[in-house]
Chains A and B, each alone.
Chain A
């Protein structure tokens, strides 16, 4: 069974204090690993898709990396507006179609 574990559950940072969120996964053949951001009371917002180990993608203060067992979401010099829940999800070849298996998320709070 495909599984995704995110850590930490919650993270408090001071503005400008860089850090990383972890997403560990087990999947029978990775088709894609996805990062989303979710604000309270809203649907998830797509951030990145990673397909193979060694791949990296960047967007503003965020950088996502992928290995064969985990992905990291690095946040450089975060700002209060980066506060949100960050969700990691995987698509495996076992599942027909493009069903996603989500982790529980990491709640990020950035204080000014």
Chain B
């Protein structure tokens, strides 16, 4: 149980285009979903937290107009990287938890984004 999927697993795009990444909880309802970014040989950096039906809460320094997050249902959250640039190239990972408090986060397999 507690399986989280991400799609696509990797994407290459041209600078200036937008990229959408989907995160789905397959066998549980995710009240809260999280989006992380990970640079090579570094730990996970939280970008934003989203609760179903609410606006996402972004971490300090993360541009909300750049990284659009939608959590429209209890099983799906999307991250859209708008007008992507080479510096947005990274490994993006989502996680999902069934509750809002003291709940384990289950992670997706990650999406590798390369912006040319």
Contact = CB atoms under 8 A, between A and B. Distances in A.
Interface of A: 31-32, 34, 36, 41-46, 49, 51, 87, 91, 97-100, 102-105
9 contacts: A43-B6, A46-B104, A46-B105, A98-B97, A98-B99, A98-B100, A98-B103, A100-B105, A105-B43
Interface residues of B, number: 28
B43 A91 contact: no
B60 interface: no
Given A98-B100, A102-B43, 15 more contacts: A32-B104, A41-B110, A43-B4, A43-B93, A43-B108, A44-B95, A46-B2, A49-B104, A91-B102, A97-B32, A97-B49, A98-B103, A102-B44, A104-B42, A105-B43
Interface of B: 2, 4, 6, 32, 34, 42-44, 46, 49, 51, 91, 93, 95, 97, 99-110, 112
Contacts of B44: 44, 87, 102
Contacts of B99: 98
A46 B106 contact: yes
Contacts of A49: 104
Nearest to B6: A43
B32 A34 contact: no
A36 B107 contact: yes
B49 A44 contact: no
B2 A31 contact: no
